[in-house]
Amino acid sequence: MVSTWEDFYAKHPPPQDLTQNEQALKEFTRKHLETENKVVLVTSGGTTVPLEHNTVRFVDNFSAGTRGSVSAEYFLEQGYSVIFMYRIKSLEPFSRHFIGQKFLDLLKISGNNENSVITVLPEYTEKVATVLRKYREAFDKKKLLQLTFTTLSEYLWLLRSACQALAPLEDKAILYLAAAVSDFYIPSNEMSVHKISSSGPPTISLQLVPKILAPLVNLWVPKAFVVSFKLETDESLLIPKARTALNKYNHNLVIANMLQTRKQQVIIVSKETNYVLSLTNEQLDNGDEIEQLIVKDLIEKHIKFIRSKPTS
């Protein structure tokens, strides 16, 4: 059974930090509305689907948040302001360059136990400085707002609030929906309250998540430039499914990618055409990022989209 999106919101309470996030969204979009900046909402990382209210176990997915965090940096570089809505502990713009042990490998310690001095190794200083400058500029100029979600329900609540905040920007807003959002969930009223007992095999029944692109495109941000992503593992389904989504929701673009090759190749699917953006193996080895090509291509389309609208 598929419930409607209205049902979903009626049956799942808003996250506790929603009011605070809505305030931050309102301030951010008000400022950019006044200065007529272009703003992109980037969603990134995967949603979880809890199996219990007191959650011990949950269904998750593979997304690391690479697509979203890398794209956010390129949008900032192109002068866009960015609302980065991401799964807690997935990759974030700027800090993604220094995750895990890599971060410690950049540092040198000298002095003694009472008087330690920590510095960045000379061979890494330029890289750290470049990233740090961009990071400081984004935050000091208030061009980047980061908001988090973990569960599917938190994602859907925050997405709706972000759309409502972006709506006044009309065609100056891009929605770049790169998060890997679960297609299945357990409705709140069917979820076990406590940790599911392991005394026998549990029967877990998942339901389909209502398709949120429909209200998003038609009701929440009807004038924005909306880009969704389509991920498949069976190549023969990729383009047909991307095109079906485009025809069904009538938004601007679908970016289609295969799980195995997503860092090297994507297919841009619009109403008129579809074409490949890709990196050669050499470019990939050099550290080039496919998101740079995606964002460049998209911004050209967004500018044409804005120009095609009658000025009021």
Positions touching ligand PAZ (CB under 6 A) are 63-67, 178, 180-181, 229-231, 257, 262
Indicate the residue among 161 and 182 with the shorter CB distance to ligand PAZ: 182
Indicate the residue among 169 and 216 with the shorter CB distance to ligand PAZ: 216
Nearest approach, Cβ of residue 241 and ligand PAZ (Å): 9
Indicate the residue among 87 and 143 with the shorter CB distance to ligand PAZ: 87
d(CA 158, CA 85): 8
Indicate the residue among 63 and 161 with the shorter CB distance to ligand PAZ: 63
What tokens were used for 24?
């931050």
Q: Which residue is nearest to ligand PAZ (CB)?
A: 66
Nearest approach, Cβ of residue 138 and ligand PAZ (Å): 20
Nearest approach, Cβ of residue 231 and ligand PAZ (Å): 4
Nearest approach, Cβ of residue 213 and ligand PAZ (Å): 11
d(CA 182, CA 180): 7
Indicate the residue among 169 and 256 with the shorter CB distance to ligand PAZ: 256
What tokens were used for 5?
């999106």
Neighbouring C-beta atoms of residue 294, cutoff 10 Å: 23
**Alpha-carbon distance values, 148 to 73, 89, 99, 158, 256 (Å):** 17, 9, 18, 9, 25
d(CA 192, CA 210): 21
What tokens were used for 97?
């360059």
In sequence order, the 6+-apart residues with CB closer than 8 A to the CB of 258 are 231, 232, 233, 235, 238, 265
Nearest approach, Cβ of residue 258 and ligand PAZ (Å): 9
Indicate the residue among 31 and 263 with the shorter CB distance to ligand PAZ: 263
In sequence order, the 6+-apart residues with CB closer than 8 A to the CB of 179 are 43, 44, 45, 46, 47, 63, 68, 85, 86, 87, 155
Nearest approach, Cβ of residue 257 and ligand PAZ (Å): 5
